[in-house]
Amino acid sequence: MECFRRVNPFRACAGLRVLGYLMLALVAAIVAVSYYAVVVYAWGPLLLGGGGGSVAAAAIVLAAFHLLLIMMLWCYLMVVFTDPGAVPENWRHAAEEDDMDESNTRTISNDVATDIVNPPLFTSEGQGNASRYCSRCQNGKPPRCHHCSICDRCVLKMDHHCVWVVNCVGARNYKYFLLFLVYTFLETVLDTLVLLPSFITFFRDESRRSSSASDVAILFLAFVLNLAFALSLLIFIGMHTSLVASNTTSIEVYERKKTVSWQYDLGWRKNLEQLFWFLPVHSSEDLHNIPALQGLGFPARPGAVV
């Protein structure tokens, strides 16, 4: 029994990082298969050897394909390589700092030695302005911050750890994650639609069956994969759209059910303003002016009932 008590189950979570690197390779393979099927097999030949309307259609399809591919990969790399947000060392809530300042003032006024520091009290539970403490990081926990057992650290406004990007999704890369979902969905829908004619023609026209077995396999694989990803991403985007509209993370869904009104829900317009959109970049002005991107404090709705 003593051996079982000493086993650290969180070490097994660290093994998921290895799975994440395999996912990176899988993403690269899916992109390569789709690129070959759309550009090399289906629409590239039409652009080079077609006539009239087919050339124009091929040019439009290939331009849209490459534009969405660039945006998708840009967002993906931003999610992978952007730190979701780390808690500063020895972080304390502003209310605790005020209490400590008052305590230090009293100490000085009473001529008590100032080299004796009483550690602040933290509680492991709570949200909003309640003090929290992470026993594993030995540090304070800002509001909406959670400890990731895979990364083995606390992450600001943690949403989840995503094995597809080998990274946590948190305050500073959540926007990039959402844009990655959107552009990937648009890309997979486009790929499915533009491969559908070739897919149908192959089974209807025997003359097209002279294609090599590898080309046929790649066409079939690309079509099925893109269709499957488009359908699954539609559900995933719907879920995250609902979360964004209510300013809730995936982790906070359960917490929100226990409250009468969610204190971070400022209305869908203001909730969206905390992310804002389209390009996977944050200006220095946004990082300075939008507290949610800093991840240490969040505007709350006055009068919210917890």
Q: What does each C-alpha distance from 199 to 129, 135, 183, 294 come to in angstroms?
A: 57, 56, 23, 48
- Specify whether the CB–CB gap between 64 and 190 falls below 8 A: yes
* pLDDT on residue 206: 62
* pLDDT on residue 116: 29
CA 252 from chain centre, in angstroms, equals 15
In terms of pLDDT, which residue wins out, 170 or 8? 170
* pLDDT on residue 14: 57
* pLDDT on residue 89: 86
In terms of pLDDT, which residue wins out, 186 or 284? 186
Residue 215 lies in a domain: yes
Q: In total, how many domains does the chain have?
A: 1
Q: How confident is the model at residue 279 (pLDDT cuts 50, 70, 90)?
A: confident
Q: Is the pLDDT of residue 226 over 90?
A: yes
What is the rounded average pLDDT of the residues 208-225?
81
Domain membership of residue 279 as a residue range: 14-86+161-294
State the CB neighbour count (10 A cutoff) for residue 132: 18
* pLDDT on residue 66: 97
* pLDDT on residue 186: 97
**Reported pTM:** 0.79
* Catalytic, out of 75, 151, 162, 168: 162
Residue 88 makes CB contacts below 8 A (sequence gap 6+) with 296
Give the range among 140-144, 201-205, 221-225, 269-273 with minimum mean pLDDT: 201-205
Residue 94 lies in a domain: no
Residue 270 lies in a domain: yes
In terms of pLDDT, which residue wins out, 201 or 190? 190
Residue 98 lies in a domain: no
**Whole-angstrom Cα distance, residue 45 to residue 66?**
16
Residue 27 lies in a domain: yes
* pLDDT on residue 111: 38
Residue 150 lies in a domain: no
Q: Report which secondary-structure segment, H or E, holds 231.
A: helix 213-245
Does the annotation count 162 as an active-site position? Answer: yes
What is the rounded average pLDDT of the residues 93-120?
42
Residue 225 lies in a domain: yes
Residue 35 lies in a domain: yes
Residue 204 makes CB contacts below 8 A (sequence gap 6+) with none
- Specify whether the CB–CB gap between 50 and 58 falls below 8 A: yes
